[in-house]
Amino acid sequence: MFRTALRNLLAHKTRLMMTALAVLLGTAFVTGTLIFSDSVGSAYRNRMAKSLDDVAVSVTADGRAGPDAGERAVLDERTARRIAALPGVASVRPSVTGMPLIADRNNDPVGGSWGSDGANYVPGKDGKDSRYPLVKGRGPAAEGEVVLDVKTAGKLGVTLGGTVRMAVDGPVVSKKLVGIVTTDNPRVSAGAGLALFDTPTAQKLFGKPGEYSELVVSATPGTDQSALTAKVRAMLPKGLEATSGTELAAAQGKVIDEQTRSIRKTLLVFAGISLFVGVFIIANTFTMLVAQRSREIALLRAVGASRRQVVRSVLIEAGLLGLVASAAGFVLGIGVATGLHPVLNATGASLPDGPLVVKPSAVLSALGVGVVVTVLAAWLPSRKAARIAPVEALAAVDQAPAPRGLVVRNAIGALLTTAGVALMLYVTTFKDSSGMQYAMAGSALTLTGLIVLAPLLSRPVVRLFGGLAIRLAGVSGKLARQNALRNPRRTAATASALMIGLTLITGLTVAAVSADRGMASMGKQDMTADYKVSSSNYLGLSPDIARTLAGQPGVATAVPLRSAGFQSDGRPAQATATDTRALGTVVDVHVVSGSLADVRGTASVAVSDKFAADHRLTTGATVPMSFYDGQKAAPRVVAVYKDNDVLSSVLAAPALVDPHMEKVRDEQVLVKAAPGRAQELPKKIKEALGGNPLIKVESQDDLRRAEAGNIDDVLYLMYGLLGMAVVIAVVGVVNTLAMSVFERTREIGMLRAIGLDRREVKRMVRLESVMIAMFGAVLGVAAGCFLAWSGGHLLRSSFPQYEMVVPWARIAVFLLLALAVGVLAAVWPARRAAKLDALEAIGAP
């Protein structure tokens, strides 16, 4: 039976070509995902390992300090000297880090979304810092000097002695470039910039004079790292913590693994969808092959082959096909993994360079998945082959599906669809995300039910499109409709592959467009300012910026907003500090009780209605506030306002919040333009602030477009990932039509003999393809809209502005693309059918 399976595989290799292509594409997706994620993770770990080569112990401030932490412990020169005096310590390198924004020629920040890293240059005995090997020049030695990495210097086009403009949290400063270095810093190798300063300048820019961000301890040869870490911990005051180099590497490695794991899981989900779509193609192919080889199978049964041997023969054939296709898919997957790196870097991902990592698990997974999926998909056709009775099979080449089988299938499909729809309707009763599991189960049931029920649903939809085809193409349209209706199982299986892809694409599109519309509504609802001025590095703005803007011509009001965290009744919250008298000009605040004008000094605050309800507060009550610097306050509630997307839970005067901020910084400044001056204001603001790369000036439309851009970026990424499933679905249509043409060779010959010309034969095959594609598209679009509508109710609590919007224009594009798919998929089968010689076709077996 193995030789029989091998002979069948070689004899029908042309018919199996499209099936092999579907397995190949799905396997390539899986292989590419595994190799790509392993390679990226390895590159990050290698870079990280180099940067931690000389780190025995790392001493930092304890970021877990809470409201009761008391006086803040700091890393200073005294702490460094105490650590250096410990036995086994070779050296202590003080480190100061921050995030400067380096301006390019257009005053935009270098490094894009990655920003830039800032650090102090610590020369050793030879006058050089071993962490940053010099390529040109020397290290920084004065406040007006800076050193850049090679890539950043190249982006700026600056040479030694040139001027580098940058900002941290205030005005633009200019420094002289005195050196260019290389580095193993993973962030820099991934696309971030790097600027190095002498230690006093770095402390002034990123922290406080005399304080460090980290103390890096190197050990003498032979010193036990764990023992040294324990000694350092024992002498540190409360608020400082010591981490061994091994622990630091393990923690960072864990973060890298989690990040690459999340990328891998996301990509594998879409790879799984592609393979699932491929199942329909494989099952369809083997079902048609079994029907076409029924006489051959009958002869095998007649000469003594058992049912089990017939099943085994079909499964061996499927396994061999899966093995060959998976091997080819694995090779293609290596190419996919190689190509993903530059493609993602071109879109701003900035992934580190590194060798391609091909683990044995990737090889086994690719081959195993391809073979298992192919064999499982061929299992039902093999069972059908085993049920062929020798005498019955010899009497006819093909038989219609048993009516009882369709009845049972339709009953099961109706039950699954009803259960899925009922579950999704139940999901609409939820007002938060607690119903997510029900939504996932309901979506799976609904989609599965539609797949099972597709043969029944195909009849009315195909008849509808067939009626239009008859009007447009006459006899060819009538024949196409009859061919599509002849075997509803085959039509349904072919269309279901396309339906799955379009269901997911439509659902994602409806959800994304609805979210975009909700965000636009949310922005217009609460923010009435013309512009929002904020920091590109999210570290806040100097209060001087708000004062500068307030005095500019064309600015009616400039209202700064800053915030500080605190705990109330053991729960975390945020307090927004601003000038409440001017707040109403830039934010639409609806006061429920009291007056915002009474918020002044340290004795009074306003709270949102949601915060008031959660903490059982009313006007006149006191709010217990425990700030994270250890200080406490109990201001009185003088107003309650409706929950607002611009403001936090508590609204206070700067006098209450500022003392509890480590460094007073504004998160944003909301600007209201004078009448008739709004259009010119962004340019004026940039000019007033000296072309500061730190500053972002965004109008309400800019904010909406930014949010929409983020949504669109994710949506287009999803389109790209789902595109593989759609491509495999197209392969399925081509495969079904091609095998159908072979199956109907004699019939086509008869049609040619009685007068159907080549053009009409092409048109018949093309229209059949279009009907199948449009059936899958209509079903997919309808299912996607329903799932998006029902699942969208889970966003009610966190996103009340969300309201379902049906993007009719995009849906029309999807339907037109499905029409194009039907036309293109029929090109090769239609040409093949038209080239058949009438007499030879009539005489075909």
Give the residue ranges of the chain where pLDDT is below 70. Answer: 1-16, 50-51, 63-72, 112-114, 186, 190, 292, 344-352, 391-405, 519-525, 705-711, 713, 796-801, 839-845
pLDDT on residue 115: 73
Strand, helix or coil for residue 593: strand
The DSSP secondary-structure symbol of 353 reads P
pLDDT on residue 70: 47
Question: What digits encode the pLDDT tens for the residues 535-581?
Answer: 887 778 888 888 888 888 889 999 999 999 999 988 999 999 999 88
- Four-residue CA torsion sign, 806, 809, 813, 815: positive
List the alpha helices (DSSP H) in 207-306.
225-235, 245-292, 294-302
* Ramachandran area for residue 606 (φ above 0: left; ψ -120 to 50: alpha; else beta): beta
pTM, 2 dp? 0.70
pLDDT on residue 394: 53
Of how many residues is the chain composed?
845
pLDDT on residue 397: 46
Half-sphere exposure of 359 (CA within 13 A, CB side): 13
How many angstroms separate the CA atoms of 33 and 340, rounded? 9
Nearest to 246 by CA among 281, 219, 270: 219
Joined together, the tokens standing for residue 281 give 């193609």
Secondary element (H or E) of residue 173: strand 173-181
Q: Domain map of the chain by residue range? A: 97-210, 458-528+700-845, 537-692
How many angstroms separate the CA atoms of 68 and 538, rounded? 27
pLDDT on residue 402: 47
Nearest to 278 by CA among 117, 501, 99, 125: 501
How many angstroms separate the CA atoms of 330 and 25, rounded? 9
Joined together, the tokens standing for residue 55 give 């780190």
